[in-house]
Amino acid sequence: MPRCRLDSGTDAPHHKHLMTSTTFQRARKPEEIQARRETLLAAAAELFDAEGPLGAGLNAIAARAGFTKSNVYRYFESREDVLLSLFLTEMEQLVPGFAAAIAATPEGDLDGLARAVTGQFASRPRFGHLTSILSNTLETNVSEDTIVTVKRTMGGMAAEMATALRTRLPKASAEDALWAITMIGALVAGLWPGAHPAPVAERVLSRPEFARHRPSIERDLPRTVRAILASIA
């Protein structure tokens, strides 16, 4: 599953009808295929940011990109395959930012490292949202081979993040650092839906009596990340 570069977050540029179906020609060269995939991923990113996974259906993605639905299947096997590719693109963009934030933190500074890690995830809402639906939505309606490719790609990028973490926690083993990255990802996946509830639930959780039931990425993630890092330091 080739990865494509896209702007991250909610400030992605608008690419409305990037290609008209009347001018559609089948891509044959690798660079043409990659360009079509990038067009579809740009459309999916816009829809996902605006309307969430329900708004990023295959029909909507095809229409936004100027494709027919049948043409989308030349490049992706399903809506979930499109969003999995978007997830990998977002993770690919996270890795260098994560490494830079870690490198800027003094060795052994657990509080600083926890803040740096939190800042990277909090500033990437598209990645956080995609992470929260990875297991129960994105990894459905795709082939076993696709999931294998995704897991291998994720594993390679997680290993890069673990290597960066060990530069500031040199007593941590490679295995423990990778475990820490995996657990932080699981924390983000678990916290994200509660921190970003649906509109009706958000109004309820805004009431003082329910405020304690709403998690906060900025408030709660640093504390839990610090606990994880302390356990391997």
| Summary mean pLDDT of the chain | 90
| pLDDT per residue as tens digits for the range 179-189 | 999 999 999 99
Residues 62 and 125 in one domain: no
188 and 157 inside one domain: yes
Q: How confident is the model at residue 6 (pLDDT cuts 50, 70, 90)?
A: low
Q: Assess contact for 40 and 66: CB atoms under 8 A.
A: no
Last residue of one domain, picked from the residues 52, 76, 100: 76
Model pTM score: 0.86
Domain membership of residue 5 (yes or no) is: no
**Separation of alpha carbons 104 and 115, rounded Å:** 12
Return the structure tokens found at 62. Answer: 């095809």
CB-CB contact of 123 with 100 (8 Å): no
Confidence band (pLDDT; 50, 70, 90) for 30?
confident
Same domain, 89 and 103: yes
Tokens of 178: 């990778």
51's tokens? 């309307």
Q: Tokens 């996902």 belong to which residue? A: 48
Give the confidence band of 25 by pLDDT, cuts at 50, 70, 90.
low
Question: Considering the domain boundaries, does residue 23 fall inside one?
Answer: no
Residue 1 confidence class, pLDDT cut points 50, 70, 90: low
> Torsion angle of alpha carbons 24, 27, 32, 38, nearest 10°?
60
For residue 133, the model assigns a pLDDT of: 97
What per-residue confidence (pLDDT) applies to 92?
Answer: 97
Note whether residue 105 is domain-resident: yes
Position 26 scores a pLDDT of 63
Domains in the chain, number = 2
pLDDT category of residue 11 using cuts at 50, 70 and 90: very low
Q: Note whether 63 and 120 are same-domain residues.
A: no
Q: Give the long-range contacts of residues 56-63, CB within 8 A, separation 24 or more.
A: 56/82, 56/83, 58/82, 63/17
User: What tens digit of pLDDT does each residue of 94-104 get?
Assistant: 999 999 999 99
Rounded to whole angstroms, the Cα distance separating 7 from 89 reads 9
Same domain, yes or no, for 122 and 42? no
Tell me whether residue 13 is in a domain. no
Using CA atoms, how far apart are residues 45 and 39, in angstroms rounded to an integer? Answer: 10
Of the chain, the percentage scoring pLDDT greater than 70 comes to 88
Judged by DSSP in three states, 220 sits in helix
Identify the domain containing residue 173 by its residue range. Answer: 79-231
In a domain, 227, yes or no: yes
Distance separating alpha carbons of residues 77 and 142, to the nearest angstrom: 7
Mean pLDDT of all residues in 137-159: 97
The pLDDT of residue 124 is above 80:
yes
Domain assignment present for residue 193? The answer is yes
Instruction: Please determine, for residue 14, whether its predicted confidence score (pLDDT) is greater than 90.
Output: no
Which residue in 93, 85, 10, 8 sits closest to 40, CA to CA? 85
Q: What is the CATH number of the domain that holds 100?
A: 1.10.357.10
* Same domain (yes/no): 163, 57: no
Residue 210 lies in a domain: yes
Both 192 and 87 in a single domain? yes
| pLDDT band, residue 22 (cuts 50/70/90) | very low
Pair 93, 122 in one domain: yes
Q: Is residue 142 part of a domain?
A: yes
Q: What is the H or E stretch that residue 113 is in?
A: helix 110-122
Last residue of a domain, one of 46, 76, 106: 76
Q: Do 151 and 167 belong to one domain?
A: yes
DSSP state of 13: P
Residue 181 and residue 109 share a domain: yes
At 70, which CATH number? 1.10.10
Q: Does residue 135 share a domain with residue 161?
A: yes
**pLDDT, mean of residues 61-79:** 95
Q: Identify the burial level of 48 via C-beta atoms within 10 angstroms of its C-beta, where 0-12 means exposed, 13-18 middle and 19 or more buried.
A: buried
Q: How many CA atoms lie within 13 A of 42 on its CB side?
A: 21
The mean per-residue pLDDT over the stretch 8-12 comes to 44
Q: How many CB atoms lie within 10 A of CB 176?
A: 19
Q: Do 92 and 64 belong to one domain?
A: no
Tokens of 116: 């740096």
